[in-house]
C-alpha cells in the first residue's frame, strides 16, 4: 500500500549522487561538483513540489518564489551583518541557525497566506493564481532598492554553522546531499501516513473524500505550507551556493522548470524529482556546450515530452514492469480469476 | 494634489488598461472557445512587435509597417495553431501549460536567431511624435493618445465582431457548446484556427503599439503575460466583458498606485517609512486586489456560464 | 413519538426555471429502511445531494437527530454520522479496494493529521475495513486496484464505504444501478442483512428490491412527496398507481 516506489533505482541514484561528485572534485574537476550541488539543491525543491503536485494534485506554478524567499532569508541578514541595520530585530547575522529556520518560517507563512486564497480555486485558476503570487514576490523584492533591486544582492554570503564551513564546496555539497536525503525520507513518510493518504485520496476523487467526512481544504493547505517551507530550505542552500542572490531565482520561468523536473522524473514517486532534476540539469549542460541557442532544442524536447509521454522517467520503469506482468499472465501465468 | 499630474496618470492608466485588454482578450478568447491555456501568448505579443519593428525599418513608415505586420502575425498564429495547439485540444490544462512553456523557449530562441539579442527601437513618424497641450501643465504625448484611440477602436471592433457577425455568433455558440456547433456542420477546425489567429493578432497589435515606447525586444512579453493572467482571473476566464473591465481596473490601479501611493502613505506614515514601503506595496497592489476579488468571487467578477 | 433520525421540511431547490425540489417534506424514523421511489426526473438525486450537503437548498430545513444541519457543509454531515453512496460510482480509482474502504474508516477513527506512522501499521482501521469488505463479499479483492474491478464490484465498494463510516444514517443512491439480476439479488440480500443495524434511506428504481426491503416508502413526483406509507399502503394508493406504478402494476 505504499506510494509507487522503485527502491533499487532510488538506491542506485542516491549512491551515485553521493559518490561521483566528490570523486570528480578530487580528480581535479571541481566543475562537476558544483553542478552536482546545484542539482541536489534543485532536487530538494523538486521533492517539495512533488508533495503537492505529484501526490496531492495541486499544480503550483509558483514554487520558485519559495526558493527565492529562502535565498533572501540568507542574503538579507547577511547584508545587514556587513552594512548594519536591523540589529535590534536580531536580523543582522551570518549564523546559519538564523538563516535556515528563518527561511523555512518565511516560506511557511507565505504559503499559508497565499494558500488560503489559492486553494479555494481549482484547475486553470489555481495554476494561474500561484503563478501570479510568485510574480508578486518577484516584483516586491525587485522594488526594494536597498537589496539591489533588479541586480540582486551582490554579496557572497555564507551561513555559518559551528564545525561546518559552507565555503568549502565539498562540505556544501555534503550538507545539501544530507538535506536532500532527509527531505526525501520525510516526504516518503508523510505520503504513507494517514495525512498522506487523505491527500492522495483527494487527488484521486475530492468529492468522495469530502463525502467520507474529510475537510480536504485543510489537509491541502497543510501540505502546501509544508511544501513551501521545504522549498524555502532549498532556497537557503541556494543562497549559500551562488555568489549573489538574484530575484531571477523566483521568476515564473524557474517555476516552470521545477515543474518539468517533477513531471519528467515521474510524479508521485520518491526518486522521480531527483531523476528529473538530474535529467534537466544534464540536458541543459550538454545542450549549452553545443550552441548558445540551446533553449531551442530544449524547448522542443520539453514539448515532445508533454505531447508523447506519460508518467515521466521513473514510471517508464513501472510501465515496463506492468507490460511484463501482463505478458506473463497471458502466457498462463498466475493471474487469479475474480468472479463477482 | 497636482491636478494635471493626476489627469496624466489617469490617461496613462487608461493606456495601460487598453493594452492589457488587447493581450487579455486574446487569452480569454482562446481559453473560452478553445479551452486552451496558452502561456506562449506573450510570445505572439513579442513577435508582433518585432515584425512591426523590422518592417518599419524596411519601409521607413510605422503606420504601413503596422498594417502589414497584422496579417503576418495572424499567419504566425495560424502556424502555431496548426503545429502545436491542435495537438493539445482536450488535454489536461497542465499539459497545455507545460507544452506552451516549452513553446515560449522555442519562439524566444527563434526570435533571438532572427533579430539578435538587442532590442530594436521603432521610430515614430513626425506627426505622431509631438505632444498635445491641454493646458499649461497638462501635456500628453500624442502617441499615447493614439494608443488609447487604437485600443478603443479594437475593443469596439471586437464587440461588433462578437455580437453582430456570423463569426461572432459561432464564437459565442462555440463557447457554450462546442459539440453542438460541430454537429451543426460548422468546420470546427477552421473556426478554432481563426479564433487562435485572432488572439494572436490582438496580442501582436498590443506589442506593435507599445514598441515605439519601450523598444521591441525578445524579453518584452515576460512582464505583461502575468499581468494579463491577473486580468483574466479577476475578470473571469473566458469573459470578454470581464477582461475589459478588469483590464481597465488593473491598468488604472497599477498606474495610479505607483504614482501616488507614497503620497497617500505619507498622510499617515513618516516620510522615510512611506518611501521605503510604497514601491514594494504598489508593486504588489494588483495582486492584492486579485486576492481580494478571489476571496469573494473564486471565479472572477464575470465568469461565463458553465458549458 | 420517536424522534426522527432525518427530517426534511419544505425543501425547495430550483435550477433556472425548473423546480427540482418543490416543497418536499420527509421523515425518516430510526432503524427503518425508508425507500424513495419516483419516475425519472422526479428529483431523487437532487434530494440526496441536499440531504448530504453537496447542494444547499433555496429554502427549507434539514434536521439530523433534531439538529438543524441545513447550512452545514458535506464533510461535517459525514462526520456527524451520515454516509452516502453514489448512483454514479465515485471511488478513488487508482487506489486499491482496501485503501478506499480504509480511508472511509479512518475518517471516523481518530485524527488524520498524523504524519509519521504508515497506514500499513494502522491495525484498527485495517481490520475494520477488512470486516466491511467481508460483509459485502469483497474480502478477496482487497488488494486489487479499484479500476480493475467490474461494475458489480464497484457497487459493492460503495456500500462497503458507507458501512466503514460507522454511520447512523446511510443514504444509498441507486446501489443496484447498472447491475444484472443475479448481482442485484446479492445486493438485496446484503441490504436485508443490514436492516435494523442502522437507518437506511434507499433510492431505487428496482421495484422488487423496494417492496422486498422497505419498511416505509415515499413516492417522489416532480420534486414533491405525494405519498408516504408501508409497502401495502403504497401499493394500494390510487394516486401513486396513476403517477408512477401505472402499467407496471401487473399482478402487484
The pLDDT tens digits of the residues spanning A145-173 come to: 888 888 888 877 788 888 888 888 899 99
Are the Cβ atoms of A192 and C118 closer than 8 angstroms? yes
Segment A176-201, tens digit of pLDDT: 999 999 999 999 999 999 999 999 99
CATH code: domain of residue C113: 3.40.50.300
C2-28: string of b/e by CB count within 10 Å (b at 16+)?
eebbbbbbebbbeeeeebbbbebebbb
Average pLDDT, chain B: 86
pLDDT at A321: 57
In chain A, residues with a C-beta closer than 8 Å to the C-beta of B110 are 296
3-state class (DSSP) for residue B270: coil
In the structure, what pLDDT confidence band is assigned to residue A312 with cuts at 50, 70 and 90?
A: low
pLDDT at C78: 93
**Are the beta carbons of C181 and C153 closer than 8 angstroms?**
no
- Residue among B218, A179, A205, A218 nearest C86 (CA): A205
For cell 513531471, the residue is: A263
With contact defined as 3+ CB pairs under 8 Å, the chains touching C are: A
In chain A, residues with a C-beta closer than 8 Å to the C-beta of B276 are 144, 146
Helices (H) and strands (E) in chain A, counts: 13, 0
CATH code: domain of residue A100: 1.10.3470
pLDDT at C247: 44
Q: What is the CA radius of gyration of chain B?
A: 20
Check CB contact of A25 with chain B, cutoff 8 Å.
Answer: no
In the structure, what pLDDT confidence band is assigned to residue A340 with cuts at 50, 70 and 90?
A: very low
Residues C61 and C86 in one domain: no
A263 located within any domain: no
Nearest Cα of chain A lies from the Cα of B267 at a distance, in angstroms, of: 21
3-state class (DSSP) for residue C166: coil
Which positions 246-305 of B are in contact with A (Cβ < 8 Å)? 276, 279-280, 282-284, 287, 290-291, 294-295, 298-299
Which distant-in-sequence residues (6+ apart) come within 8 Å of B115 by Cβ? B50, B54, B216, B218
- Residue A328 in this model has a pLDDT that exceeds 80: no
The string of DSSP letters for B175-200 reads HH-HHHHHHTT--HHHHHHHHHHHHH
pLDDT at A337: 31
CA angle A318, A321, A323 (to 5 degrees): 110
ipTM (interface predicted TM)? 0.89
- Residue B283 in this model has a pLDDT that exceeds 50: yes
Average pLDDT, chain A: 85
In the structure, what pLDDT confidence band is assigned to residue A3 with cuts at 50, 70 and 90?
A: low
Are the Cβ atoms of A307 and B31 closer than 8 angstroms? no
Q: Give, as one character, the DSSP assignment of residue C33.
A: E
Other CB atoms within a 10 A radius of the CB of residue B236 amount to 24
- Residue among B228, B235, B271, B165 nearest B23 (CA): B228
| For chain A, percent of residues with pLDDT exceeding 70 | 89
Instruction: Tell me how far apart the alpha carbons of residues B11 and B142 are, in angstroms, rounded to a whole number.
Output: 12
pLDDT at C246: 53
A126 located within any domain: yes
pLDDT at B215: 85
Residues C67 and C172 in one domain: yes
- The C-alpha cell at A182 is 532527509
Best C64, C98, C112, C171 member to test A by mutation, with max A CBs in 10 Å, is: C112
Own/partner pairs, A288-291, CB within 8 angstroms, 24+ separation: none
**Are the beta carbons of C103 and C128 closer than 8 angstroms?**
no
pLDDT at C123: 93
C76 located within any domain: no
User: Which of C166, C197, C226 marks a domain boundary?
Assistant: C166
In chain A, residues with a C-beta closer than 8 Å to the C-beta of C161 are 212
**Are the beta carbons of B285 and B253 closer than 8 angstroms?**
yes
Chain B residue with the nearest C-alpha to that of A119: B298
Nearest Cα of chain C lies from the Cα of A156 at a distance, in angstroms, of: 37
C77 located within any domain: no
Facing A205 at nearest CB: one of C92, C106, C156: C92
User: Which of C166, C200, C229 marks a domain boundary?
Assistant: C166
In chain A, residues with a C-beta closer than 8 Å to the C-beta of C107 are 212-214
Which positions 72-101 of B are in contact with A (Cβ < 8 Å)? 84, 87-88, 93-95, 97-99, 101
Residues C172 and C56 in one domain: yes
Helix axes A7-26, A272-290, angle to 10 degrees: 40
Facing A132 at nearest CB: one of B37, B101, B230: B230
Instruction: Tell me how far apart the alpha carbons of residues A260 and A67 are, in angstroms, rounded to a whole number.
Output: 16
Facing C107 at nearest CB: one of A190, A205, A214: A214
Which distant-in-sequence residues (6+ apart) come within 8 Å of A39 by Cβ? A277, A278, A281
Residues C161 and C172 in one domain: no
C137 located within any domain: yes
The string of DSSP letters for A151-169 reads G-B-S----BBTTB-TTSH
Domain that holds residue A223: 7-253
C205 located within any domain: yes
pLDDT at A334: 37
In chain A, residues with a C-beta closer than 8 Å to the C-beta of C116 are 189-190, 193
Residues C172 and C241 in one domain: yes
Other CB atoms within a 10 A radius of the CB of residue C88 amount to 9
**A touches C, CB cut-off 8 Å, minimum 3 pairs:** yes
In the structure, what pLDDT confidence band is assigned to residue A323 with cuts at 50, 70 and 90?
A: low
Segment B134-186, tens digit of pLDDT: 777 777 888 888 899 988 998 899 889 888 888 888 777 766 666 777 777 77
Q: A123 vs B70, which has greater pLDDT?
A: B70
Nearest Cα of chain B lies from the Cα of A57 at a distance, in angstroms, of: 11
pLDDT at C40: 78
In chain A, residues with a C-beta closer than 8 Å to the C-beta of B95 are 306
For cell 554579496, the residue is: A155
- Residue A335 in this model has a pLDDT that exceeds 50: no
Segment A223-282, tens digit of pLDDT: 999 999 999 999 999 999 987 899 989 888 899 899 989 988 888 888 989 999 999 898
**Cα-Cα end-to-end distance for chain B:** 49
C61 located within any domain: yes
The string of DSSP letters for A60-78 reads -S-THHHHHHHHHHHHHHH
CA C112 to chain centre: 25
CA atoms within 13 A on the CB side of B238: 20
Nearest Cα of chain C lies from the Cα of A194 at a distance, in angstroms, of: 5
Residues C172 and C58 in one domain: yes
Task: Sort residue B236 into left (φ over 0), alpha (ψ -120 to 50) or beta.
Answer: left
Across the range A112-136, mean pLDDT stands at: 90
pLDDT at A314: 53
Across the range A285-304, mean pLDDT stands at: 87
- The C-alpha cell at A13 is 541514484
Exposed, middle or buried by CB within 10 Å (0-12, 13-18, 19+), for A290? exposed
Q: Give, as one character, the DSSP assignment of residue B216.
A: B
A164 located within any domain: yes
**Are the beta carbons of B272 and B205 closer than 8 angstroms?**
no
Instruction: Tell me how far apart the alpha carbons of residues A44 and B301 are, in angstroms, rounded to a whole number.
Output: 38
- Based on the structure, what is the number of domains in chain A? 1
Other CB atoms within a 10 A radius of the CB of residue A297 amount to 17
In chain A, residues with a C-beta closer than 8 Å to the C-beta of C180 are none
Within chain A, strands assigned E span none
Are the Cβ atoms of C54 and A219 closer than 8 angstroms? no
C105 located within any domain: yes
pLDDT in tens, chain C (252 residues): 678 999 999 999 998 888 888 889 999 999 999 999 988 777 888 999 999 998 899 999 999 999 999 999 999 999 999 999 998 889 999 999 999 999 999 999 989 999 999 999 999 999 999 999 999 999 999 999 999 999 999 999 999 999 999 888 999 999 988 888 888 888 999 999 888 788 999 998 888 889 989 999 999 888 889 889 999 998 888 888 787 655 444 444
Across the range A111-135, mean pLDDT stands at: 90
3-state class (DSSP) for residue C212: helix
- The C-alpha cell at C194 is 443490514
Which distant-in-sequence residues (6+ apart) come within 8 Å of A151 by Cβ? A246
In chain C, residues with a C-beta closer than 8 Å to the C-beta of A215 are 73, 75-76
- The C-alpha cell at C237 is 394508493
Segment A24-38, tens digit of pLDDT: 888 888 888 999 999
Across the range B189-196, mean pLDDT stands at: 88
Other CB atoms within a 10 A radius of the CB of residue A268 amount to 24
- Based on the structure, what is the number of domains in chain C? 2
Interface A–B counts its CB contacts (< 8 A) at: 114
In chain C, residues with a C-beta closer than 8 Å to the C-beta of A204 are 92-95
Beta strands C82-85 and C169-173, pairing class: parallel
Nearest Cα of chain C lies from the Cα of A308 at a distance, in angstroms, of: 22
Facing A140 at nearest CB: one of B276, B284, B290: B284
Domain that holds residue C201: 1-71+168-176+184-252
In chain B, residues with a C-beta closer than 8 Å to the C-beta of A115 are none
C54 located within any domain: yes
- Residue A215 in this model has a pLDDT that exceeds 70: yes
Best A54, A135, A146 member to test B by mutation, with max B CBs in 10 Å, is: A135
Task: Sort residue A4 into left (φ over 0), alpha (ψ -120 to 50) or beta.
Answer: beta
A335 located within any domain: no
Sheet of C33-37: strand order equals: C82-85, C169-173, C199-203, C33-37, C216-221, C224-229
Amino acid at each position: 500500500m505504499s506510494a509507487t516506489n522503485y527502491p533499487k533505482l532510488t538506491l542506485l541514484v542516491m549512491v551515485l549522487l553521493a559518490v561521483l561528485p566528490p570523486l570528480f572534485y578530487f580528480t581535479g574537476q571541481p566543475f562537476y561538483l558544483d553542478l552536482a550541488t546545484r542539482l541536489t539543491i534543485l532536487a530538494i525543491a523538486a521533492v517539495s513540489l512533488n508533495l503537492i503536485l505529484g501526490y496531492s494534485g495541486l499544480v503550483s506554478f509558483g514554487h520558485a518564489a519559495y526558493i527565492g524567499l529562502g535565498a533572501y532569508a540568507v542574503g538579507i541578514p547577511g547584508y545587514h551583518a556587513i552594512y548594519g541595520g536591523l540589529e535590534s530585530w536580531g536580523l543582522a547575522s551570518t549564523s546559519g541557525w538564523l538563516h535556515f529556520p528563518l527561511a523555512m518560517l518565511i516560506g511557511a507563512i507565505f504559503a499559508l497566506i497565499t494558500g488560503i486564497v489559492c486553494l479555494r480555486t481549482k484547475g486553470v485558476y489555481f495554476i494561474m493564481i500561484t503563478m501570479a503570487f510568485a510574480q508578486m514576490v518577484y516584483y516586491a523584492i525587485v522594488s526594494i532598492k536597498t537589496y539591489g533591486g533588479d541586480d540582486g544582492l551582490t554579496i557572497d554570503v555564507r551561513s555559518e554553522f559551528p564545525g561546518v564551513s559552507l565555503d568549502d564546496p565539498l562540505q556544501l555539497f555534503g550538507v545539501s546531499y544530507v538535506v536532500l536525503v532527509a527531505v526525501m525520507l520525510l516526504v516518503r513518510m508523510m505520503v504513507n501516513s494517514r495525512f498522506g493518504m487523505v491527500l492522495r485520496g483527494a487527488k484521486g476523487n475530492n468529492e468522495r473524500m469530502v463525502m467520507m467526512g474529510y475537510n480536504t481544504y485543510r489537509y491541502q493547505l497543510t501540505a502546501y505550507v509544508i511544501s513551501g517551507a521545504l522549498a524555502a530550505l532549498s532556497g537557503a542552500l541556494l543562497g549559500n551556493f551562488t555568489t549573489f542572490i538574484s530575484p531571477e531565482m523566483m521568476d515564473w520561468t524557474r517555476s516552470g522548470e521545477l515543474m518539468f523536473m517533477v513531471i519528467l522524473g515521474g510524479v508521485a514517486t520518491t526518486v522521480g524529482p531527483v531523476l528529473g532534476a538530474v535529467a534537466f540539469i544534464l540536458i541543459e549542460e550538454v545542450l549549452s556546450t553545443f550552441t548558445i541557442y540551446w533553449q531551442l532544442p530544449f524547448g522542443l524536447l520539453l514539448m515532445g515530452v508533454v505531447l508523447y509521454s506519460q508518467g515521466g522517467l521513473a514510471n517508464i520503469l513501472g510501465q515496463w514492469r506492468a507490460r511484463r506482468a501482463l505478458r506473463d499472465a497471458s502466457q498462463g501465468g498466475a493471474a487469479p480469476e475474480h468472479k463477482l | 494634489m497636482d491636478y494635471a499630474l493626476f489627469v496624466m496618470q489617469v490617461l496613462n492608466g487608461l493606456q495601460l488598461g487598453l493594452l492589457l485588454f488587447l493581450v487579455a482578450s486574446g487569452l480569454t478568447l482562446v481559453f473560452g472557445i478553445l479551452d486552451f491555456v496558452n502561456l506562449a501568448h506573450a510570445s505572439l505579443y513579442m513577435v508582433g512587435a518585432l515584425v512591426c519593428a523590422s518592417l518599419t525599418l524596411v519601409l521607413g513608415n510605422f503606420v504601413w509597417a503596422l498594417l502589414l505586420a497584422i496579417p503576418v502575425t495572424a499567419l504566425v498564429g495560424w502556424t502555431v495553431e496548426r503545429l502545436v495547439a491542435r495537438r493539445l485540444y482536450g488535454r489536461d490544462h497542465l499539459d497545455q501549460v507545460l507544452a506552451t512553456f516549452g513553446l515560449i523557449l522555442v519562439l524566444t530562441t527563434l526570435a533571438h536567431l532572427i533579430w539578435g539579442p538587442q532590442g530594436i527601437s521603432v521610430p515614430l513618424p513626425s506627426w505622431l511624435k509631438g505632444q498635445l497641450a491641454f493646458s499649461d501643465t497638462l501635456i500628453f504625448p500624442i502617441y499615447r493618445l493614439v494608443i488609447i484611440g487604437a485600443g478603443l477602436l479594437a475593443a469596439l471592433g471586437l464587440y461588433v465582431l462578437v455580437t453582430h457577425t456570423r463569426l461572432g455568433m459561432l464564437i459565442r455558440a462555440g463557447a457554450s457548446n462546442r459539440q453542438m456547433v460541430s454537429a451543426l456542420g460548422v468546420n470546427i477546425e477552421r473556426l478554432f484556427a481563426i479564433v487562435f489567429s485572432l488572439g494572436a493578432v490582438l496580442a501582436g497589435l498590443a506589442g506593435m503599439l507599445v514598441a515605439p515606447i519601450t523598444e521591441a525586444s525578445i524579453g518584452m512579453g515576460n512582464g505583461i503575460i502575468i499581468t494579463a493572467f491577473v486580468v483574466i482571473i479577476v475578470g473571469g476566464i473566458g469573459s470578454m466583458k470581464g477582461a475589459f473591465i478588469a483590464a481597465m481596473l488593473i491598468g488604472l490601479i497599477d498606474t495610479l498606485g505607483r504614482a501616488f501611493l507614497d503620497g497617500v502613505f505619507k498622510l499617515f506614515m513618516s516620510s522615510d517609512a512611506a518611501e521605503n514601503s510604497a514601491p514594494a506595496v504598489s508593486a504588489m497592489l494588483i495582486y492584492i486586489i486579485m486576492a481580494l476579488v478571489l476571496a469573494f468571487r473564486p471565479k472572477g467578477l464575470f465568469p461565463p456560464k458553465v458549458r | 413519538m420517536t424522534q426522527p433520525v432525518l427530517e426534511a421540511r419544505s425543501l425547495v431547490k430550483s435550477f433556472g426555471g425548473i423546480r427540482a425540489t418543490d416543497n418536499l417534506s420527509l421523515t425518516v424514523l430510526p432503524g427503518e429502511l425508508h425507500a424513495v421511489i419516483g419516475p425519472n426526473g422526479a428529483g431523487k438525486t437532487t434530494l440526496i445531494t441536499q440531504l448530504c450537503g453537496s447542494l444547499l437548498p433555496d429554502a427549507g430545513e434539514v434536521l439530523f437527530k433534531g439538529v438543524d444541519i441545513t447550512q452545514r457543509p458535506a464533510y461535517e454531515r459525514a462526520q456527524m454520522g451520515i454516509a452516502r453512496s453514489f448512483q454514479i460510482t465515485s471511488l478513488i480509482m487508482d487506489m486499491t479496494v482496501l485503501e478506499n474502504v480504509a480511508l472511509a474508516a479512518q475518517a471516523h477513527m481518530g485524527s488524520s493529521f498524523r504524519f509519521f506512522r504508515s497506514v500499513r501499521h494502522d491495525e484498527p482501521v485495517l481490520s475494520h475495513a477488512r470486516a466491511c469488505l467481508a460483509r459485502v463479499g469483497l474480502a478477496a479483492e482487497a488488494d486489487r486496484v479499484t479500476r480493475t474491478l467490474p461494475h458489480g464490484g464497484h457497487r459493492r465498494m460503495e456500500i462497503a464505504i458507507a458501512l466503514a463510516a460507522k454511520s447512523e444514517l446511510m443514504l444509498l443512491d441507486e446501489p443496484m444501478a447498472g447491475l444484472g439480476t443475479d448481482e442485484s439479488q446479492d445486493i438485496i440480500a446484503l441490504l436485508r442483512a443490514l436492516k435494523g443495524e442502522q437507518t437506511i434511506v434507499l433510492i431505487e428504481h428496482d421495484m422488487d428490491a423496494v417492496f422486498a426491503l422497505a419498511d416505509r416508502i415515499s413516492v417522489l413526483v416532480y420534486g414533491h412527496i405525494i405519498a408516504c406509507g408501508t409497502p401495502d399502503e403504497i401499493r394500494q394508493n390510487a394516486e401513486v398507481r396513476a403517477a408512477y406504478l401505472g402499467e407496471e402494476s401487473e399482478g402487484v
